[in-house]
């Protein structure tokens, strides 16, 4: 930030590069036509890089709410780490496991059939946590749910 040569380059990069959720909400999502499928309940886990690093919290929810046939249920402590945190789950497995247990407990209280999260590390961590509990809740990226809705339309 204090390099006068690189600052304009970084600012230009920042203007051009966006997270997919941010971009889709910015350009306007045209919801697919509902096809009469039964409603599914989804909850959203905020990945650390999106909510803390990039300050993106509302756009993924806006996108999920725009998908016909989905009912978004808020997750308690949605913005708390799931324990993945890059390689944190490998370097600090005990603490990562405690974070994951807490996250899974909260997921189970939502009654959701689907957990959406925008980070592949979080996705794998939550999948493993649910699998360890013997729970068959689906975990996907939010854009996957949007793509599936368009395929059904």
Q: pLDDT tens-digit profile of 28-60?
A: 988 788 777 778 999 999 999 999 989 999 999
Percentage of the chain beyond pLDDT 70 is 99
CATH number belonging to domain 6-152? 3.40.50.10700
For range 13-33, the mean pLDDT: 89
DSSP letter string, 109-132: HHT-SEEEES-HHHHHHHHHHHHH
- CB 39, CB 114: distance < 8 Å: no
CA distance 5 to 27: 31
Question: Mean pLDDT over all residues of the chain?
Answer: 93
Cα–chain center distance at 39: 19
- Looking at residue 1, its pLDDT comes to 60
Q: Select from 60, 75, 40 the least CA-distant residue to 119.
A: 60
For range 105-124, the mean pLDDT: 98
């Amino acid at each position: 930030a204090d390099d006068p040569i690189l600052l304009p380059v970084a600012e230009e990069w920042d203007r051009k590069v966006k997270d997919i959720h941010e971009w889709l909400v910015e350009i306007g999502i045209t919801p697919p036509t509902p096809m009469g499928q039964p409603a599914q309940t989804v909850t959203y886990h905020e990945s650390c890089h999106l909510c803390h690093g990039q300050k993106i919290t509302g756009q993924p929810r806006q996108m999920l709410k725009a998908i016909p046939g989905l009912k978004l249920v808020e997750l308690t402590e949605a913005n708390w780490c799931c324990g993945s945190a890059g390689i944190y789950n490998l370097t600090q497995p005990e603490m990562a496991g405690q974070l994951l247990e807490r996250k899974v407990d909260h997921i189970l209280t939502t009654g959701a059939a689907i957990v959406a999260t925008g980070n592949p590390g979080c996705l794998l961590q939550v999948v493993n946590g649910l699998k360890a509990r013997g729970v068959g809740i689906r975990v996907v990226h939010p854009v996957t749910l949007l793509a599936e809705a368009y395929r059904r339309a």
